[in-house]
Chain A
């Protein structure tokens, strides 16, 4: 057994010993709702220092006074925050399927189409498994390699224990807990997520992914991720997984903060494929995500790429604050909505420094009875001399019962700024379908091909191994909606 594993086991057993009363508290876990006790419980469970608990409680007191933002083009019933479990470490073992035969066959079909190995399918479908497949050992190997370079890659919980200085300095520095009600909520009750620190001058040699991280389970509901790229460093981070994840939680409110110091670059890629609800719009995840990056230093760069195909409701605007001179922000997005899904997604580019540049490429595809909105805000502050933005928003409609909306805001306080905005809305072209079918492709293959072509500009921004899967995913998301 290597030292890594021993350490993990060691800390695990210590925790157990220290908190021998865990089982008793577990019995109380059926308590729903949000109050100070819930937060204290979470903090205690995670063995957090007092300053962290205080931070959470402050966020909670802010949350109590706040209302949900209502400006999005989304409609859903009122969220009852007292009807939610905020901590469920064993995630209701009794509720977990015992094997794959208890899982929705449609989900299994999708896994098979994506070519996901059986053991992995079990994990994704939430089947109760004791041993997590090979990636644990893979992760351990990688972790050792990363440590040699001084890279810290661990769960946010571990970072709170081991790297309190970095956490105190950066957590909440880009998304203040009081920013809006979902950020306050997340700050109060977050349970897990990733922490990454890349030291000065280090180019991270591999794509970092939650997938390779030990303790990757249970990152779902209130995820908190913090990535810091120190001067002159580079990191590419992949979030999520192309396979749809079974999840009993209705409400998700993740917060992701990125900080790029001078000459540093962060590339953050997401494939979001949470359960979207069924054909009649029943069920599905409400996904209220706040992602924000700060280009703090000169010549820094943050690039967001997202492929959003899941969730019943998506509310998400990965943004960049371009504070350092010459810094660059990019946002590449594909959002596909089908059946009764609703997505209100886009970005915010805030130009503060001189010569800052931003680029927005958004592709929205609406099918079925879904509603798909692009919402973007590009602003130039007074000192943002010669800053530039280029925005391209294209919407594609399939069928005649869906909707596509484009809501760009542009605000410039500097008259040397250059802003370009291009937008198009089109219906899937009957002539293109006819052409493809005349060559022998069936209707669904033809639609998938055309949509993949439409998204290519964004998909090609994804890291290679992700791109192929994402293409398959795009095809799967379109299924059953055409004809």
Chain B
């Protein structure tokens, strides 16, 4: 199994957020998690990425034959987990090029691969940016600083395409995007998809799933997955909302 979440219960500040959640993802699969606000979707994304604010009450997660709880945030990232943030944070004064260059090399180091040199990296970054229709001038700016919502999301996808993760988690990547930006972002994701990597797409609206076709759709309500199936579920939600699952 590529990613296996078993019986996961999580709380934050005395509030139980995830309750006995189960989810399995195989290599090459695209999973979508849909659910109303406050159902615990983003918590799941952050628990997977290793954010330290949460208390794990029960359960376990296996990722690529690792007990995920044995790995800290950066080790998980280096093992190939990528989280595209809902609200990417601004880091003033830090240019994307050295930032991503260090990131990719820390991953390569862990995988015992050769580090990539400055020049090759600059070329790689430029070509990926062009693939995604990102203006080269944007690469000269500080990470996320002064970016519009749409720019930030495109920037996340650019980083994802550079780091080429085994498991990409997209946390409400569609929120706040107009239709053009949404298309650029989803095109990027579709280009990255291979039979060797997997996606976990968290979304509130069905719209995103018009552009990225999931193999499985899960409905999350009140901290657990209440229904799983194919893309027909997304259509159901679009029509009737989450009401009937609650």
Chain A residues with CB under 8 Å of chain B are 429, 431-432, 434-443, 445, 449-450, 452-457
- Contact at A439–B85, with CB atoms within 8 Å? no
B102–A435 touching, CB < 8 Å: no
Given contacts A429-B89, A438-B49, A456-B93, is CB(A449)–CB(B99) below 8 Å?
A: yes
For the complex of A and B, 9 pairs with smallest distance between CB atoms: A453-B93, A456-B93, A453-B94, A440-B77, A439-B103, A437-B73, A440-B106, A431-B89, A437-B74
Give the size of the chain B interface in residues (CB under 8 angstroms): 29
Which residues of B have CB within 8 Å of A437? 50, 72-74, 77
**Contact: A436 with B100, CB < 8 Å?**
no
Assess the B163–A457 pair: CB atoms within 8 A.
Answer: no
Instruction: Determine the chain B residues whose CB is within 8 A of the CB of A445 once the complex forms.
Output: 102, 106
Chain A CB within 8 A of B107 CB: yes
- B106 lies within 8 A of A453 (CB): no
A441 touches B74 (CB 8 A): yes
Q: Is the CB of A435 within 8 A of B91?
A: yes
What would 9 more interface pairs be, CB under 8 Å, given A435-B88, A450-B94, A455-B93?
Answer: A432-B91, A439-B77, A440-B107, A442-B106, A449-B91, A449-B98, A452-B94, A453-B92, A456-B93
Bound form: Cα–Cα A21–B94 in Å: 60
**From B102, which residue of chain A is reached at the shortest CB distance?**
A441
Within B62-89, the residues touching A (CB, 8 Å) are: 72-74, 77-78, 82-83, 85, 88-89
- CB contacts (< 8 Å) of B92 on chain A: these are 453-454, 456
Interchain CB contact under 8 A, B142 and A438 = no
Minimal Cβ-Cβ distance residue in A for B95: A453
B93 in contact with A439 (CB, 8 Å): no
Once bound together, how far apart are the Cα atoms of A457 and B100, in whole Å? Answer: 21
Q: Which residues of A contact B106 (CB under 8 A)?
A: 440-442, 445
Bound CA span A456–B142, Å: 11
Neighbouring A residues of B83 by C-beta, 8 Å? 438
Using CB atoms, name the residue of chain A closest to B108: A440
Least Cβ–Cβ distance between B113 and chain A, in angstroms:
13
A-chain residues with CB within 8 Å of residue B102 when the two chains form the complex: 441, 445, 449
* Least CB separation from B52: chain A residue: A434
Q: In the complex the two chains form, what is the Cα distance from A439 to B83 in whole Å?
A: 8
Least distance between A440 CB and chain B CB atoms (Å): 4
Q: Could you tell me if B77 and A438 are in contact, using CB atoms closer than 8 angstroms?
A: yes
Assuming the contacts A441-B74, A445-B102, asked whether A436 and B91 have C-beta atoms less than 8 A apart, the reply is yes
Q: How far is the CB of A295 from chain B (nearest CB, A)?
A: 30
A434-B51, A437-B73, A440-B103 known; A454+B93 contact, CB < 8 A: yes
Q: Is the CB of A438 within 8 A of B73?
A: yes
**B224 at the binding interface (Cβ < 8 Å):** no
Given the known interface contacts A439-B159, A440-B163, A441-B106, the answer about A453 and B142 at a Cβ–Cβ threshold of 8 Å is yes
A452 touches B91 (CB 8 A): no
Is the Cβ of B91 less than 8 Å from the Cβ of A439? no
- Tell me whether A440 and B78 are in contact in the complex, defined as CB-CB below 8 angstroms, given that A431-B89, A434-B73, A449-B102 are known contacts: yes
> What's the nearest-Cβ distance from chain B to residue A478, in Å?
15
Residues of B within 8 A of A440 (CB): 74, 77-78, 103-104, 106-107, 110, 163
B196 vs chain A, min Cβ distance (A)? 19
**Given A434-B73, A445-B106, A439 and B94 touching (CB < 8 A)?**
no
- Please provide the chain B residues from 164 to 193 with a CB less than 8 Å away from any CB of chain A in the complex: none
Residue among B77, B78, B94, B110 with most chain A CB within 10 A? B94
Q: What's the Cα separation between A432 and B99 when bound, in Å?
A: 12
Closest B residue, CB atoms, query A431: B89
Looking across the interface, which residue of chain B has its beta carbon closest to that of A435? B89
Q: In the assembly, what is the distance between CA of A449 and CA of B89, in Å?
A: 14
